[in-house]
Amino acid sequence: MRLLRKIGIRVNPNETTQYRPDAVQEKLQRRLTILGILIVAAFVILFARLWFMQIVSGDEYCEKAEGNRIREMSLESPRGRILDRNGTVLVKNRNALTISVVPAEIGKDEKVIERLSRLLGMGEKEIRYRIEQSQAPNRRVVLIKSDVGEDVVTYVREHQREFPGVIAGIRPIREYPYEELAAHVIGYLGEISPEMLEEKKGERYVAGDEIGISGLESTYDEELRGEVGKYRLEVDASGNSIRELSRKEPRSGLNLRMTIDQEIQALVEATLKAQVDLARNRYHPETAREYEATGASAVVMDLRNGEIIAMASYPTFNLNEFVGGISEKAWKELNNPKNMYPLNNRAIMSELPPASTFKAVTAIGAIQEATYSMNSPFECKNVFTKGPFEEYPKYCWSTHGRINLFNGIVQSCDIVFYELGYTFYQRQLKEEGRPLWEYARDFRLGMHTGIDLTSEMDGRVPSPEWKREFNRDNPEYQVWYPGDTVNMAIGQGDLLATPLQMAYVFAGIANGGKFVKPHVMKDLEDSDGEVSITAKIETVAELEIDVQIFAQINEALQGVVKGKGTASKTFEGFPLAQIPVAGKTGTAEVVGKQPASWFVCYAPANDPQYVVAVVIEQGGHGGETAAPAARRILEGLFHLPPAGEIQPSVGD
C-alpha cells in the first residue's frame, strides 16, 4: 500500500481494493509523455533561438562582437600650412598629445568623467558639453583636450581600468604663431554640423570631422584637409590595445600661399586699433559724448591684379582659442554683443552708407549723361530748396558759396550733389538716359565682388523696383520720391556698401572702368613646394565710359588731399609730388548711431597700384579718423618713414 501511495494511487483501508498494474502503468506513461513534451519544447525553443542568432542575425551579432574587440581609429591628415605672399608661415601644424573618449565605451559612467575632470583641470560640465556637442557616432572618438602634458598621458595609460573608453593619443593640431594676425582672412576650424554633413553628402566627410568654418580655411577646406588615414586595433575587454591589425597612412593637405603681406597686415591691424582708441577720446557734439568707435575695417588691394595685400577687422580674436575645440565660455564671449562681434569680418560684412565716397560715382554718371561738366557752376548757401525740397529742405555741412563740380568733389559740397541727384530724378520721370542706380550697379555695388572668402554681403542699391518689393506689405511706402535719388547721390538713404565694395569701386575708377576680381589665395603648393593651382587674374567687367571722364575724376580726387580738400590737413608733409594720392572722404549718417568715418583712396594716382579703404564705425568725420589711418597704411605700402602725429582734417 505504501508503494501505491508513493506512485500517487489513493488507497482507502476501509475498502477492498483490487490492485491493477495496468492502471499504474498508464498513469506513469501519461506523466512521462508530458515531461517529454516539455523537454522537447525547451530544446525546440533553445535551438530556435540559436538558429535565429546564428543564421538570421548572425552577421549583426558578429559585427557587434567584432566591434567590441576591434577599434578603428582615424589618423588625422596634417592640414596644409598657410603662408603670406613672401613665404612667412602664418598657420602651421604640430603634433600634440590628446585625450579623447569613445562615447559608447564611456557610457554614463559619472566616475570616469569626474576623474577626467580632476586630471585635465576641466569642469565636468565642459567635458559633458564636448561629448554632447559632438556629432560623431558612439564608437568614434571625441576629442576632449588637446596639447596635454606627458604626465597626463602616462597616468591614463597606467590606470586604464579607471578610464574605460578614454584614449591617449597624438594628432596634428593647428598652431598660429601670430595669434590674431589676419584672423578673419585665415578663418577657424570647427566640428562639422549635421547640416553641413548633409550638404556635403558623398564627399570625404564623416560625422566628427573638423572642417573650415570661416575664411580661407572654409573656402579651401577640401584642398587644405588632405586625406585621412586609419588603423585598426584589437583591444581586450578593458579597452587595452593588444595589437595593430592594419594601417593606412594619411596624406597631407596642400599648402596655401596668400596674397596677404604679413608686414602690411600687421601695420593695418595696429593702425585700426590706434585710430579706434583715438576716436574714443574725441568728443562728438551732437550726442554730447565721446565717439563710441564700435569697430573698424580696412582693405588694401593691388588694383592691377585683384590681390588683397591686407584685410583687417577690429575687434579681432585669437585663432588659438579654436585649437582642439573652443570652450563654451570663450564661444559665449566672442558672441556677446557687448564685445562688438569680433568674429565678424567687417571688411566684407559691414554694410554702411558709403556717404560722400559715392560722390565719385554720381559725378561720373552725371558727366557721362552729358547733363553736367566739371566746370558746371553751383551756388552753395548751405541749404537746398529746389522743387519739393522747398517744403523739406536739405542742408550742406558747410557754406561753400560759388563752386563748380570739380571743387564740389574736392570740398565734398552736398548742395552740388543734391542738384545732380535731383536732375537724375527729373530725367528718370521723363525716361531720359540712365538712372543713378544703374551707374551704382555698373560699379559693382549691390552684388558680391566674388572674393574667395565666406560670408561676403551684397550691400544694397535701391531702385523703384526694389522699394516696391521691400515695402510690399506697406503700399504707402512704395512710392519712389525725389529724396530717394537725392539721398543716393550723396551716398546716403537706402544705399549700402561694404569696405571691400568701395575699394572695388575706386579700383574700377583708377583702372579706367576695368574691374579685376579680388582674391586672397595666390597659389596652392604640395609639400615639395610644387605649385598645383595658381589664382587666375580675372577681369569681370569693363565699363563703356569715356576715359576722359575717369581722368577728370582722378584729378578731382587728387585735390581732396591738398589745398582746400577735405583730407588736406591729414596729408600735410606726405610726398604727394613723388606719390600722388587720389581719395575721397565720407561721413555716413546712420539712424540712432554716431557717424561712420570713411576714406577710400588709390596711389600713385599717376600710375595706380594700390587701393586703400578704411572705415571707423561711429568714429566721426571721414577726414577726422579714417583718413589719418589711410595715410599710415600708405606710408607702409611705399616704405616711407612714418610721420609723427597726423593731424585730423575737418570735413565731410
Question: What are 271-305's pLDDT values in tens digits?
Answer: 999 999 999 999 888 888 999 999 999 999 999 99
Instruction: Read off the pLDDT band of 109 (50, 70, 90).
Output: confident
> What is the band of 6 on the pLDDT scale with cuts at 50, 70, 90?
very low
Asked whether 493 and 460 are in contact (CB, 8 A), the reply is no
Specify the pLDDT at position 3. 45
To the nearest 5 percent, what fractions of the chain are helix, strand and coil?
A: 40, 20, 40
pLDDT above 50 for 153: yes
* Predicted confidence (pLDDT) at residue 320 exceeds the cutoff of 50: yes
pLDDT of 628 > 80? The answer is: yes
pLDDT band at residue 7 using 50, 70 and 90 as cut-offs: very low
| pLDDT score at 107 | 67
In the structure, what pLDDT confidence band is assigned to residue 453 with cuts at 50, 70 and 90? very high
| Separation of alpha carbons 132 and 108, rounded Å | 12
Summarize pLDDT for 487-541 with one digit per residue, the tens: 999 999 999 999 999 999 999 999 999 999 999 999 999 988 888 899 999 999 9
> Residue 583: pLDDT above 80?
yes
Mean pLDDT of the region 553-564: 98
- Does residue 408 surpass a pLDDT of 60? yes
Contact 489, 412 (CB under 8 A): no
Task: State the pLDDT at residue 609.
Answer: 99
71-257 adopts what CATH topology?
Penicillin-binding protein 2a (Domain 2) (3.90.1310)
Q: Which sequence spans correspond to the domains of the chain?
A: 2-56, 71-257, 262-328+344-637
pLDDT for position 64: 46
Task: Look at residues 416, 348, 354 and name the one whose alpha carbon lies nearest to residue 382.
Answer: 416
> What region, left, alpha or beta, does residue 493 occupy, with left being phi > 0 and alpha being psi -120 to 50 degrees?
left
Q: Which of the four pLDDT bands, split at 50, 70 and 90, describes residue 317?
A: very high
- Residue written as cell 538712372? 435
- The reply to whether 71-257 and 262-328+344-637 are identical in fold is no
* CA-based nearest residue to 80, from 517, 518, 452, 530: 530
pLDDT of residue 493: 97
Most confident of 8-17, 333-342, 638-647: 333-342
Residue type, 627: A
> What percent of the chain clears pLDDT 90, i.e. is strictly above it?
67
pLDDT reported for residue 23: 66
Q: Residue 521: which of 533, 504, 529, 538 has the closest Cα? A: 533
User: Whole-angstrom Cα distance, residue 598 to residue 621?
Assistant: 7
Q: What is the pTM of this model?
A: 0.85
Mean pLDDT of the chain: 90
Average confidence (pLDDT) over 382-394 = 95
The mean pLDDT of 198-205, rounded to a whole number, is 78
Those residues with Cβ within 8 angstroms of residue 130's Cβ, 6 or more apart along the chain or in another chain:
142, 143, 144, 325
Model confidence at 427: pLDDT above 90:
yes
Residue-level pLDDT at 194: 77
Choose from 185-194, 227-236, 562-571 the range with maximum mean pLDDT: 562-571
What's domain 262-328+344-637's superfamily in CATH? DD-peptidase/beta-lactamase superfamily (3.40.710.10)
pLDDT for the residue numbered 57: 55
- On the question of pLDDT at 417 being above 60, the answer is yes
Instruction: State how far the Cα of 496 lies from the Cα of 458, in Å rounded to an integer.
Output: 9
> Amino acid letter at 623?
G
Per-residue pLDDT of 462-500, as tens digits, reads 999 999 999 999 999 999 999 999 999 999 999 999 999
Q: Is the pLDDT of residue 123 over 80?
A: yes
- Range list of β-strands (E), 76-141: 82-83, 89-101
pLDDT bracket for residue 565 (50, 70, 90): very high
Q: Helix or strand or coil: residue 361?
A: helix
Specify the pLDDT at position 452: 98
pLDDT in tens, 62-90: 454 454 567 677 777 899 999 999 999 99
Q: Is the pLDDT of residue 134 over 80?
A: no
